[in-house]
Amino acid sequence: MTLILVAEDEPRISSFVKRGLEAAGYSTDVVADGTEALDRALAGGVDLLLLDVGLPGMDGFEVLRQLRGQGSPLPVIMLTARSSTRDTVDGLNAGANDYVPKPFKFDELLARVRSRLRENVSTGSVEIVYSDIRLDVLARRASVDQREIDLSAREFALAEQFLRHPGQVLSREQLLSNVWGLDFDPGSNIVDVYVRYLRAKFGTERITTVRGAGYRWE
């Protein structure tokens, strides 16, 4: 059974999340401080970590930095009451796979958990190499023909989605869900905007628009 480690020091929240995850068919372990979270994550057997930022002993950012510094590819979803863009960027740049602000609806959290677990099962890799492009998922570094490309957290996540599915058409709905964690909004053009950013950095010929369907990485 899939084991999810919940690192949360507020008993009300950890109990709520634990009950929901177990009702959805997952096994859970709960820890309440950062040091214990890091030790338990490094011990193995955990499939995903839900990591609160404001943990006692060692905060979530430091747990994540040490986890990635020791080469762990464990999927991590950060939970925090902090809502600033800076905190979100810091978490993603430190190696988080996703970021969920409090308060959250459990259905949204469960959708993020399932998405991250699917990615981990289907790929199992921490580095993606396709043609002359290399993405280091843990270090959040991208290069083209050994030349490093500066990507924002969302640009990196979008490039990662494309490079995990080269040659496949990815719809705007899929990209919104997997990169932004959002349900499809027919009025939103955020995917199109970020595709333009990637074309500017990787080359316009790499991403093809498939009319009425989405985008394909060539």
Predicted pLDDT at 114: 86
Condensed to tens digits (0 to 9), the pLDDT of residues 131-171 reads 888 888 777 789 998 899 998 888 988 998 888 888 888 88
Instruction: Say yes or no: 29 and 86 in one domain.
Output: yes
Which strand (E) or helix (H) includes residue 35?
helix 34-42
Interval 29-42 mean pLDDT: 93
DSSP-derived letter for residue 22 is H
| Residue 216: HSE in the Cβ half-sphere, 13 Å Cα cutoff | 10
User: Rounded CA gap, 218 and 195, in Å?
Assistant: 13
Residue range(s) defining the domain that contains residue 109: 3-123
Instruction: Say yes or no: 100 and 196 in one domain.
Output: no
Predicted pLDDT at 160: 87
Tell me which of 123, 145, 165 is where a domain ends.
Answer: 123
Instruction: Say yes or no: 141 and 161 in one domain.
Output: yes
Domain count, the chain: 2
Q: Which of 24-28, 77-81, 84-88 has the lowest mean pLDDT?
A: 84-88
Q: How far is CA 67 from CA 81, 122, 174, 192, 212, in A?
A: 22, 22, 29, 34, 42
Instruction: Say yes or no: 55 and 131 in one domain.
Output: no
Tell me which of 95, 123, 151 is where a domain ends.
Answer: 123
User: Rounded CA gap, 85 and 203, in Å?
Assistant: 28
Instruction: Say yes or no: 90 and 22 in one domain.
Output: yes
Condensed to tens digits (0 to 9), the pLDDT of residues 187-211 reads 678 889 999 999 999 999 999 999 9
Tell me which of 101, 123, 145 is where a domain ends.
Answer: 123
Q: How far is CA 85 from CA 23, 133, 152, 153, 179, in A?
A: 32, 28, 12, 11, 16
Instruction: Say yes or no: 101 and 201 in one domain.
Output: no
26: CATH: 3.40.50.2300
User: Rounded CA gap, 50 and 203, in Å?
Assistant: 36
Instruction: Say yes or no: 146 and 193 in one domain.
Output: yes
- Is 75 within 8 Å of 114 (Cβ atoms)? no
